[in-house]
Amino acid sequence: TLQLRFEKYDLVICDEFGYVSCDKEGGELLFNHLSLRAGKKATIITTNLAFNRWNEIIKDKVLVAAMGDRLTHKAYLVNMTGLSYRLKETQKMRQDK
- pLDDT one-digit tens code per residue, 29-73: 899 988 888 888 999 999 988 889 999 999 999 999 999 999 999
Convert 7-53 into a string of H (helix), E (strand) and C (coil): HCCCEEEEEEECCCCECHHHHHHHHHHHHHHCCCCEEEEEECCCHHH
Nearest residue to 80 via CA among 56, 50, 52: 50
CB atoms within 10 A of CB 38: 16
Domains and CATH numbers, the chain: 2-96 (3.40.50.300)
**pLDDT > 90 fraction of the chain, expressed in percent and rounded:** 45
Per the prediction, the chain carries an average pLDDT of: 88
Nearest residue to 58 via CA among 45, 67, 70, 71: 67
Pair 37, 12: CB distance under 8 Å = yes
In this predicted structure, the answer to whether residue 3 has a pLDDT above a threshold of 70 is no
Query: CA dihedral in degrees (58, 35, 72, 30; nearest 10)?
Result: -30
| Mean pLDDT to the nearest integer, 82-89 | 82
